[in-house]
Amino acid sequence: MAKNRLRSVLSRVVDIKPGEEVIAIFLFLYFFFITSPYYIIKSLRNASYLSGLGDEKLPLAYFLTAILMGFIVTFHSRIQVRLPRSRLIIFSLAFFFSNIILFWWLFEQGWKWVPVAFWVWANIFAIVLVTQFWILVNDVFNPREAKRMIGFIGSGAQLGAILGGVLAGVLARKAPQLLLPLAAGMLGLGIVVVSAIFKRRGQKSEEINREARDNLVGSNKVGFRDAFETTRQSPYLLLLAGIMMATLVVSTLIDWQFNSIVSSKVEGESNLASFFGYFNAGTMFFAFLFQLLLTSPIIKAFRIRGALLFYPLILFLGTGGIGLAALAGIIPLVPAILIKASDKGLAYSLNQSVRELLYIPISPEQKYKSKIFIDMFLNRFAKGLGAIILAVLLWLVPRAPGPQGGQGAIRYISLIVLAIIAVWVFLNFRIGREYGNLVKGKLKKQYERGDLLVDQRLDVDFTKLVFDTLESKNRSSVLYSMNLFDLIRQDKLTPEVRKLISYRTDEIRAASLGGMFEQTETGLGPKTEDELSEDVLKKEVQEIMNLDVYQDVMKDYLEKTLADRSAGAEVARMEAAKAIGFMGSRAPLVGKLEDLLEDGSPEVSRYAIQSAAALKRRVDVPVLVQKLKSPALREDAMDALRKFGPRIAGTMSDYLADRGEDTELRKTAAVILASIGTQEAADYLSWELTGAGDALVNEIIDALDRIRTADSRIRFPGETIRVTISKETRLYCQDLVDLHNGSQPLEENASRRREKRLSDRLWNIFKLLGLIYPQEDMIKAYQNLKVGTKNSVAYSLELLDNILERDIRDIIFPVVEDLPLEEKVKRCRNLLAGFGGGKDRDG
Amino acid sequence: MRIEARHKNDIVIFDLEGEIKRSDITDVTLHQLVKEQLDSGKRKIILNFDAVEFIDSFGVGEILASYISTHNLGGKLKLVKISKKLFLIFQVTMLTKVLDIYEEEETALKSFF
């Protein structure tokens, strides 16, 4: 009950699912209790340093921090693999808690080096604790969960920062001695929250953690070097590292600009501490609102690729403005505040969230190694690099006396910042693309498609012919010989087939071609001098059958045979039908095939259909098409028509489009067009897609899918496919709503049929998506959705989220998203309402 | 190719020898020889393939032409001692359904009566 209430409150600000409420709140509080003390510490840090040492000494502080971070990373890497995650985090929190108490005492002593040590320590505090927080978030959530909740969890940091900043702003003037004990107290509460998280999530987190640690320990070279190597060897991690470098160098330069401008306008340590306190609080209030209200919607709407560009582009505009102002001889406090506020506000909201999302698809081993290198070391190294750039620039452009003395440097810094942002944007484009590839890589194809496997691996014609050959053994030696010859003609009389066919050869072997080959080739009899090469046999038979004299000799026989309707004459007609297939298509006797195709005996017709397939005469096409209506002959007629290839694409499309035609015939026409597989065939099928009723839509979609599978160069009309996706989704929703309409429960059979239809429609949607997006990716996404594990579904959705255009994504996500049934039905209802409701297919 | 004609009562037996093929056309073909016999009033003909080493589609054409000529005049043409190879070809082409084929000359002779 309490959980439901909690969920109902949370669901107003975050897209949360049942069971996620408590962990979301705990992580929110964890982040809150490490950022609120940090923002008290940060205000004190800036104020004590600037008033004690001045802004010109800031590069020294940045540089010292960068150097020290190398040692911290090495140390952290080592203890990270030795300690369980829970102990590592709680130990770190306790360590920093004791440090705050120590600095409280040190500040009272008034020693000059304390502000420097405090600056460096404060940075280490922030980097270590924030990195550990995000490592835990990575342990707990998959990309979909993280995307949904990152806005809410991240807002804990902004709220903490606001509180910390306001407390620093108020207390810096009234009771500065209380700031550090207050920070320590907040951190102590953080320890309590983290303990509760591990108690609750203990088992799962520890399992993941153990696995990652085992991998790390197994690699036998844990430490700074290994963390560096892991990053260096992965192009993706290198991009992440590059982005981090660019971000922080820019941030450092902006930070200097801001501090320089502020210190020229605000005087006195307590005033500075108070200013920074209020400024930080204000910035974080902006970041909090941004994080809570805009981060998730921006990521959702613009995806990671688009969201990555927001932060650098805003800084680009702001820095450009400051540079122009400095060029005009103004030191602009308000623009400096705005750009710093944007920098910090976005850095701690959108940018941090997006960056953390970028880590999620990489393996735990890579993640932990690279994260400590990138987030801890590189973070500070970049600040150090920024410091070096600053130091060089301040050396080249020395500060002039007076409050406006920093103008020259500010101008040049703006230019450098703009150049680095350009590189940063480029890297963001690259990593956006790589992220999609990485998500794809996380999805394995679960199984090969059975229908396509049968097509690829089973030669249906060959199988039929072998069966016909075996079957004809007991019927007639002539028919048997003809079937064997057909195998030879098609180069399919392999040793295996000979062996198969020669099994049980007692009946008619002696008098047949089969006997000949069986004796000579299979070792069943002595090799004879009459051995006949297959090539000679093919040539001779062909030539004989095309002789005029042969046609004359056989004419009477065939006429008599065809006229004989006695039961015993069926085999003779089968032989005749088979023999005609060996003749040239212009041979006079081939005309007899029309009668044989219409023969009352399905067996005779079947042989005639096979011969029609071999001869490929257009005149036989209408009869073959009519045979599609006969269940006994449909498969043979279909195979025969397939062999005509692109020549009959137009004819097949006419049948497909003819609403007055037999439905089965129209379905088969779609199958034949699929096997023709040309662009023309695809176009005909696509034209029919829009108006296809329920009876035909599955076949047409399947046919298009087969064409796409066979030839990725074929193009499909995007608009038609989109409309059909939308239609299929609507019908899926309609079925889902009907199936789970509480007031009128469906009887079992109807319910099962509806379930089957839902499943077919979902598959149709993905087949259609595969026509306009990379098909392999769509199959992977579909299969992993069907597998239904939490991660397989999450990565499938992430893949779709990255690939699909917004309009398509908005339509199909209610159908594919991992939601409780009740929620899914609700979303389907909304979608149907959006569509205007109603079933449009087949009334 | 060499062709020798023998007579047994009113039956003409052609003993064929060597290869019957397009590239080895002699002055007088099998069909011409059969026609000569038909012209002389013979209606019962046996083609003996015992000594035939090879026969191609041209040779089969000669046999079929001979068959038609005989058949058109109400006569009978029978084949004896054809090789397995030729029998295979006749089966595949369905000629076994039309032509009278015997393993032994004696049987073929008897079949005329």
Which domain CATH number covers B104? 3.30.750.24
Query: For residue range A445-485, what is the model confidence (pLDDT) as tens digits?
Result: 666 666 665 666 566 677 777 887 888 877 888 888 888 88
- DSSP percent split of chain A into helix, strand, coil, nearest 5: 80, 0, 20
The answer on pLDDT for A119 being more than 80 is yes
* CA of A520 vs chain B CAs: smallest distance (Å): 12
Question: Is residue A626 within 8 Å of residue A664, measured between CB atoms?
Answer: no
Question: Is residue A279 within 8 Å of residue A449, measured between CB atoms?
Answer: no
The answer on pLDDT for A568 being more than 90 is no
Kindly determine whether residue A549 and residue B93, on different chains, have CB atoms separated by under 8 Å.
no
Mean pLDDT in each 10-residue stretch from start to end of chain B (113 residues)?
87 90 76 92 93 88 94 93 89 92 91 85
Query: For residue range A132-172, what is the model confidence (pLDDT) as tens digits?
Result: 888 888 777 776 777 777 778 888 887 888 888 888 878 87
Query: For residue range A517-553, what is the model confidence (pLDDT) as tens digits?
Result: 444 433 333 334 445 677 888 888 889 999 999 999 9
- The pLDDT, as a whole number, for residue A514 is 44
Query: For residue range A788-818, what is the model confidence (pLDDT) as tens digits?
Result: 777 788 888 888 888 888 888 888 888 888 7
- Which residues form the domain of B48? 2-111
The answer on pLDDT for A107 being more than 90 is no
- The pLDDT, as a whole number, for residue A527 is 37
Instruction: Put residue B18 in one of left, alpha, beta given phi > 0 → left and psi -120 to 50 → alpha.
Output: left
Residue B44 structure tokens: 């019962």
Q: How far apart are CA A300 and CA A306, in angstroms?
A: 10
User: What residues of chain B, 57 to 96, have a C-beta less than 8 Å from chain A?
Assistant: 57, 60-61, 64-65, 67-68, 83-85, 87-89, 91-96
Question: Which stretch, A320-334, A372-386, A408-422, B40-54, has highest mean pLDDT?
Answer: B40-54
Q: Which of B55, B79, B92 to mutate to test the interface with A (most CBs of A within 10 A)?
A: B92
- The pLDDT, as a whole number, for residue A600 is 86
**pLDDT: which is higher, A260 or A828:** A828
Pick B93's closest partner by Cβ from A516, A539, A550. Answer: A550
- The pLDDT, as a whole number, for residue A678 is 94
Task: Grade residue A434 by pLDDT with cuts at 50, 70 and 90.
Answer: confident
CATH number of A19-442: 1.20.1250.20
Q: Residue A372 in 3-state DSSP?
A: helix
Kindly determine whether residue B84 and residue A544, on different chains, have CB atoms separated by under 8 Å.
no
Kindly determine whether residue A530 and residue B84, on different chains, have CB atoms separated by under 8 Å.
yes
User: CB-hemisphere CA count at 13 Å for A679?
Assistant: 4
Mean pLDDT of all residues in A79-89: 80
The answer on pLDDT for A580 being more than 70 is yes
The Cβ of residue B15 has, within 10 Å, a number of other Cβ atoms equal to: 19
pTM tops 0.80: no
- Which residue intervals of chain A bear CATH 1.20.1250.20? 19-442
CA neighbor of A280 nearest in space, from A46, A29, A63, A103: A46
Residue of A nearest to B31 (CA): A549
Query: For residue range A685-728, what is the model confidence (pLDDT) as tens digits?
Result: 999 988 777 778 999 999 999 999 989 899 999 999 999 999 99
Q: How far apart are CA A44 and CA A47, in angstroms?
A: 5
Residue of A nearest to B86 (CA): A530
Total tally of structural domains belonging to chain B: 1
Residue A396 structure tokens: 């080249």
A-chain CB neighbours of B98 within 8 Å are 553-554, 557
* CA of A613 vs chain B CAs: smallest distance (Å): 19
Mean pLDDT of all residues in A637-644: 91
- The pLDDT, as a whole number, for residue A427 is 92
Kindly determine whether residue B88 and residue A576, on different chains, have CB atoms separated by under 8 Å.
no
User: What residues of chain B, 14 to 53, have a C-beta less than 8 Å from chain A?
Assistant: none
Q: Which of B88, B95, B103 to mutate to test the interface with A (most CBs of A within 10 A)?
A: B88
Mean pLDDT of all residues in A350-366: 79
Q: Which of B93, B98, B101, B103 to mutate to test the interface with A (most CBs of A within 10 A)?
A: B93
- The pLDDT, as a whole number, for residue A529 is 45
Choice among A295-299, A415-419, A485-489 with the minimum mean pLDDT:
A295-299
Kindly determine whether residue A554 and residue B98, on different chains, have CB atoms separated by under 8 Å.
yes
The interface pTM score, or ipTM, of the predicted complex is: 0.94
- The pLDDT, as a whole number, for residue B113 is 80
Q: How far apart are CA A229 and CA A217, in angstroms?
A: 15
Query: For residue range A390-415, what is the model confidence (pLDDT) as tens digits?
Result: 888 878 776 655 555 556 677 788 88
- C-alpha torsion angle, residues A169, A172, A174, A180 (rounded to 10): 110
- The pLDDT, as a whole number, for residue A745 is 62
- The pLDDT, as a whole number, for residue A230 is 83
Q: What are the residue ranges of helices labelled H in A175-234?
A: 179-218, 224-233
Residue A161 structure tokens: 């920062």
* CA of B102 vs chain A CAs: smallest distance (Å): 12
CA neighbor of A688 nearest in space, from A706, A707, A667: A667
Q: What are the residue ranges of helices labelled H in A83-142?
A: 85-109, 114-140
- The pLDDT, as a whole number, for residue A448 is 65
The Cβ of residue A586 has, within 10 Å, a number of other Cβ atoms equal to: 9
**CA A600, A601, A602: angle at the middle one, nearest 5?**
110
- The pLDDT, as a whole number, for residue A284 is 75
Kindly determine whether residue A549 and residue B94, on different chains, have CB atoms separated by under 8 Å.
no
Kindly determine whether residue A482 and residue B91, on different chains, have CB atoms separated by under 8 Å.
yes
| pLDDT averaged over every residue in chain A | 80
